[in-house]
Chains A and B, each alone.
Chain A
């Protein structure tokens, strides 16, 4: 083979590989763009407190599904598809679909405490309070100890299931309560009170660096006396 032939033999696969990579990058970029637009759109609905029409949801779903097909494996797209499905409170079967997406999201990005927290919320709403929810609670607590939104979910559902949890999960939930009491004691006490588990939060009243409303302190003291 001539030198020219050898050059071609090396260059051609490189060009093909580069073209493939460019195509993949374009698809990934487009998927990212769709995910970005979709997340912004959904955030607008949430901020306004109004639910969009079915047509808008369908339009967003088809965009995201197309993005998923062209660039599979984007955890953001999976999470958004899950969030869209989970919004369909009128159709509980959509929770199963949401869970499929959330599970894919954690498989693609197992370090995201938000995806684990999404699984916690979806499983709880579905009434599936088994091993998956338990593992998701612990993972969310472990991966997002300082994330306010993750803290809220872990404390809310963790305290709801307090009596049914293994000791290890209870420790993880209580560690999150400790962290949340340092961040926002009033909010944490309020969640604990709503779940009928005020004593768990009251135990960490001393950890709270911020001033806690005296009414909460009195309530904690009265519960101790009981």
Chain B
């Protein structure tokens, strides 16, 4: 009898431990229909509060969008008709170090870095079609149609490697990689030269500003989160506040 009770208690512990396991990102805002695919499994509908882990591919339908917040505070927002894979994500909360590689296959993504980007900028990379984007700052938008890529930087600086050429894009500037070459300029100049579908994607991302700010303000939290709501605020440099696990189960 005692043994049976012990097994039940151990199972209970397992249950609790599973609930507390961290994963990657949590969906903080979503509109329309967004699916997530894990490996070869059938896509399933993503909902607010769901987790997105390394290896998952997030796909937004028409008139849909999603904002995700990773355990380290990194934000990734996707506009309609986007497909993004979390190619790599690891994070060690005690040291606030880790590794991020997000691959945007098609569509638009706004990325705002968290603790990893603050502590190890070289460990945060984005891929869009054949381009590789590194960060030296905190906030930017990436759009691709699967071949051409545009990057616009709001804060800090991004490095943009396209067709064998690498440039650094400072805040307020952008670049468009197409036909094997990069055309840099101010954010507005680049925007004006972009094809309509790129401009539409950027417009969609700008429409997510409120949802992104809300995600930033919430602070990393989950069932085991320690932060009260309201911290940290937008533009608070990562490192001072937050940092708990954003995931639950």
Chain A positions within 8 Å of B, measured between CB atoms, are: 32-33, 35-36, 39-40, 42-43, 46-47, 49, 76, 79-80, 83, 86-87, 89-93, 95, 114, 117-118, 121, 125-127, 129, 149, 152-153, 156, 159-161, 187, 190-191, 193-196, 213, 215-216, 219
CB of B167 closer than 8 Å to a CB of A = no
CB of B230 closer than 8 Å to a CB of A = yes
B223–A83 CB distance below 8 A? no
A194–B249 CB distance below 8 A? no
B14–A76 CB distance below 8 A? no
Q: Which residue of B lies closest to A76 (CB)?
A: B7
A216–B44 CB distance below 8 A? no
Name the one of B39, B48, B229 contacting A219, with C-beta atoms under 8 angstroms: B229
Known contacts A190-B221, A193-B221; A76 and B18 CB within 8 A of each other = no
Residues in B with CB closer than 8 Å to A216 are 228-229
State which residues 192-249 of B face A: CB under 8 Å: 218, 221-223, 225, 228-230, 248-249
Shortest Cβ distance from residue A4 to the other chain B in the assembled complex, whole angstroms: 41
A46–B21 CB distance below 8 A? yes
Q: Which residue of A lies closest to B16 (CB)?
A: A149
A43–B17 CB distance below 8 A? yes
**Ranked 7 nearest A-B pairs via Cβ:** A127-B44, A46-B17, A39-B10, A92-B41, A195-B49, A196-B48, A194-B49
A194–B221 CB distance below 8 A? yes
Chain B positions within 8 Å of A, measured between CB atoms, are: 3-4, 6-8, 10-21, 26, 28-29, 38-45, 47-50, 53, 55, 218, 221-223, 225, 228-230, 248-249
B18–A83 CB distance below 8 A? yes
20 contacts between A and B (CB under 8 A): A33-B3, A36-B10, A39-B7, A40-B10, A42-B10, A43-B14, A43-B17, A76-B7, A90-B39, A95-B41, A121-B249, A127-B41, A149-B19, A152-B19, A156-B248, A156-B249, A194-B26, A194-B223, A195-B49, A213-B228
The CA of A117 and the CA of B249, in the complex, are separated in Å by: 13
The binding surface of chain B is classed by DSSP as mixed
B49–A190 CB distance below 8 A? no
Q: Which residue of B lies closest to A42 (CB)?
A: B14
Residues in B with CB closer than 8 Å to A39 are 6-7, 10-11, 13-14
Residues in B with CB closer than 8 Å to A87 are 18
The binding surface of chain A is classed by DSSP as helix
Q: Which residue of B lies closest to A77 (CB)?
A: B7
Q: Which residue of B lies closest to A147 (CB)?
A: B12
B49–A215 CB distance below 8 A? no
Residues in A with CB closer than 8 Å to B28 are 194
Known contacts A90-B39, A213-B228; A32 and B3 CB within 8 A of each other = yes
A76–B8 CB distance below 8 A? yes
A93–B41 CB distance below 8 A? yes
A193–B18 CB distance below 8 A? no
Shortest Cβ distance from residue A173 to the other chain B in the assembled complex, whole angstroms: 14
Name the one of B11, B49, B218 contacting A156, with C-beta atoms under 8 angstroms: B49
The CA of A117 and the CA of B223, in the complex, are separated in Å by: 16
B13–A46 CB distance below 8 A? yes
The CA of A173 and the CA of B4, in the complex, are separated in Å by: 30
